[in-house]
Chain A
Amino acid sequence: MPVTPPKTLTELFLGFLSIGARSFGGVLPWAHYVMVEKRRWLTPADFAETVGLCQLLPGPNIGNASVLLGKRWFGLRGALVAFLGLMALPYVWVLALAVLYTDYASEPMVRAVITGVGAAGGGLFIGTALKLGRALVRKPPALALIACCFIAVALGRISLLIVLPLAAVAAMVLARADRL
């Protein structure tokens, strides 16, 4: 399957704009749909590797991927254009929703619905953790690390600035010893 990377900054911008515009409920599937299936900017393997790297790094995954791909095709200008394209519509949308919500926040029914949506969003996090964790269930050291993170961060409310370095060192030691 031949790939056709974007030829102009406008094309790059519009592509990422269309990802941002429709990325309800998660950006990743839509990024794949637009860039790999519809516009054929990338091969599936290339997409998976780029996103995989971004998942290892801090920051929004597809936001970082937009920076890397923009950089690959057009340098710094491309990185900025791709990132702005991705964020522009969701940013406007979320602010508009927030303004609207504040107007109706005193309505008990509106509060109840939005609190329910928030709890469901928390549930999505838990579901995502379960999906990602499925590959780790046969590795007791990995389960122990997950439990330690949960106890320290969720129950103990200890800052990530403390937990993350300690957990990272422990995880690296285990990974180098082939225990993860």
Chain B
Amino acid sequence: MILLELAFYFAIMSLIAFGGMSAVMPEAQRLVVEMKQWASAEEFMQLFAVAQAAPGPNILIVSLVGWKVAGFAGSLVALVAMCAPAAALTWWVSNLWERFKDSPWRQAVQRAIAPLLVGLILSGGYVIATPGGSPDWRLWLIAGASAAAFYRARLNPLWILAGGGLMGALLLA
């Protein structure tokens, strides 16, 4: 039953998505492309691109995966599964968090999580720009230029995505 599978896998991913979708992007790609073969690496990248071009949290890519696999119902099931467990956890932790306001553990957690987040987001970028695990210099060039532009200039990311689309038209068509 495909809806149950979507719900199951994305509910688990919800609970390890520290820092949002960026951190579990490699995991999502592994699940969708390698384990379940719900989409090819190129298709996954294109779904990701469509999700980037829409407003809202980039977690919406899971609703596109759900939609591709099981239509409209799939899109809703995947999105709810990806959001609800994390939201419930947030609700519960927010009560605890107040109580541990001055605990040294709280600061240790904050410091511990920073390098993990950086490592995972970096991995997410790499995995997306290297669909199928085989490097393509044109995609790396677009990704590298976008990373540099985003790092250096305080541009709205939409301009960078538009630039990527333009470079894609020039290099890939």
Contact in complex: B18, A136 (CB < 8 Å):
no
A109 to B172, CA, bound (A): 8
The listed residue (B79, B118, B162) touching A132 by CB distance below 8 A is: B118
A91 to B79, CA, bound (A): 9
Q: Which residues in A have their C-beta under 8 angstroms from that of B21?
A: 60
Number of A-B pairs, beta carbon distance below 8 Å: 361
Query: Chain B interface (Cβ within 8 Å of chain A)?
Result: 12, 14-27, 30, 34, 42, 45-60, 63-64, 67-68, 72, 75, 79, 82-83, 85-87, 89-91, 93-94, 97, 108-129, 133, 139-140, 142-151, 156-158, 160-169, 171-173
Q: How far is the CB of B59 from chain A (nearest CB, A)?
A: 4
Q: Does A108 contact B (CB under 8 A)?
A: yes
A105 to B49, CA, bound (A): 13
Contact in complex: A116, B113 (CB < 8 Å):
no
Contact string against B for A residues 140-180, beta-carbon threshold 8 Å, 1 for contact and 0 otherwise: 01110111111001100101110010011001101110001
The listed residue (A22, A95, A126, A132) touching B117 by CB distance below 8 A is: A132
Q: Which residues in A have their C-beta under 8 angstroms from that of B72?
A: 95
Q: How far is the CB of B171 from chain A (nearest CB, A)?
A: 7
Contact in complex: A54, B116 (CB < 8 Å):
no
**Given A25-B157, A64-B87, A108-B173, is A130 in contact with B151 using a C-beta cutoff of 8 Å?**
yes
A115 to B86, CA, bound (A): 30
- Secondary structure of the B side of the interface? helix
Contact in complex: A171, B47 (CB < 8 Å):
no
Q: Which residues in A have their C-beta under 8 angstroms from that of B24?
A: 160
Contact in complex: A153, B26 (CB < 8 Å):
yes
Contact in complex: B22, A115 (CB < 8 Å):
no
Residues of A in contact, count (CB < 8 Å): 89
Contact in complex: A21, B55 (CB < 8 Å):
yes
With both beta carbons as reference points, the residue of chain A lying nearest to B160 in the complex is identified as A120
Q: How far is the CB of A167 from chain B (nearest CB, A)?
A: 5
Q: Which residues in B have their C-beta under 8 angstroms from that of A112?
A: 168-169, 171-173
- Secondary structure of the A side of the interface? helix
Contact string against B for A residues 47-87, beta-carbon threshold 8 Å, 1 for contact and 0 otherwise: 00000011111111111100110010000000100010011
Contact in complex: A160, B22 (CB < 8 Å):
no
Q: Which residues in B have their C-beta under 8 angstroms from that of A61?
A: 19-20, 57
Contact in complex: A20, B55 (CB < 8 Å):
yes
A172 to B25, CA, bound (A): 23
Contact in complex: A136, B173 (CB < 8 Å):
no
Query: Which 7 pairs, one residue from A and one from B, show the smallest C-beta to C-beta distance?
Result: A116-B168, A120-B164, A90-B56, A59-B86, A149-B119, A123-B146, A127-B150
Contact in complex: A86, B56 (CB < 8 Å):
yes
With both beta carbons as reference points, the residue of chain B lying nearest to A149 in the complex is identified as B119
A102 to B145, CA, bound (A): 28
**Given A62-B57, A122-B129, A159-B27, is A129 in contact with B118 using a C-beta cutoff of 8 Å?**
yes
Q: Does A14 contact B (CB under 8 A)?
A: no
With both beta carbons as reference points, the residue of chain A lying nearest to B17 in the complex is identified as A58
Q: Does A36 contact B (CB under 8 A)?
A: no
Contact in complex: A97, B87 (CB < 8 Å):
no
Q: How far is the CB of B114 from chain A (nearest CB, A)?
A: 6
Contact in complex: A125, B124 (CB < 8 Å):
yes
Q: Which residues in B have their C-beta under 8 angstroms from that of A159?
A: 27, 30
With both beta carbons as reference points, the residue of chain B lying nearest to A27 in the complex is identified as B57
